[in-house]
Structure 1
Amino acid sequence: MHKRRKFSSGCFLRGKFYVIGGRNEYNEHLTCGERYDEETNSWTLIPDMLGSMTFMPSQSPPLIAVANNNLYSLEAYSNELRVYDVNANSWKKLGVAPVISNVGFGWGVAFKSIGNRLLLIGNSSPHSSCATMRAFTCRRPSPDVEELVWEELNTNYGNVQFDHFIRNCCVMFA
Structure 2
Amino acid sequence: MHKARKFSLGCFLRGKFYVFGGRDDNDKHFTCGESYDETTDSWELIPDMLKDMTVIAHSQSPPLIAVVDDNLYMLQTTLNELRVYDINTNIWKKVGVVPVSANAAFGWGIVFKSMGNRLLVIGTSHSWHRKTVVHSCRPSPDVEEQHLEETKHWCVGAELPQFIYNCCVMFS
* TM-score normalised over the length of structure 1: 0.92
What's 2:10 paired with? 10
The one of 165, 168, 171 aligned to 1:170: 168
Specify every segment of 5 or more residues in structure 2 that has no aligned partner in the other structure, as ranges.
none
What's 2:84 paired with? 83
> Aligned partners of 1:126, 1:89: CA distance in 2, in Å?
35
The Cα of 1:131 is off from its aligned counterpart by 2.6
Does residue 1:151 correspond to 2:149, yes or no?
yes
DSSP 3-state at the match of 1:21: strand
Letter in structure 2 aligned against 1:157: V
Does residue 1:131 correspond to 2:130, yes or no?
yes
> Percent identity at matched positions?
61
The Cα of 1:156 is off from its aligned counterpart by 5.4
Letter in structure 2 aligned against 1:98: P
> Aligned partners of 2:156, 2:135: CA distance in 1, in Å?
16
* TM-score normalised over the length of structure 2: 0.93
The Cα of 1:126 is off from its aligned counterpart by 7.5
Task: Give aligned pairs, total.
Answer: 170
Tell me how large the CA RMSD over aligned residues is.
1.5
What's 1:42 paired with? 42
Deviations for 1:32-60, whole angstroms, at most 9, x for unmatched residues?
11101111111111000000111122110
Change (3 A) 1:59 1:143: same
Cα contact 2:34–2:44 (8 A) shared by 1: yes
> Aligned partners of 2:34, 2:111: CA distance in 1, in Å?
23
> Aligned partners of 1:79, 1:157: CA distance in 2, in Å?
23
> Aligned partners of 2:43, 2:6: CA distance in 1, in Å?
17
> Aligned partners of 2:51, 2:90: CA distance in 1, in Å?
10
> Aligned partners of 1:69, 1:41: CA distance in 2, in Å?
21
Specify every segment of 5 or more residues in structure 1 that has no aligned partner in the other structure, as ranges.
none
Change (3 A) 1:44 1:126: farther
Change (3 A) 1:156 1:26: closer
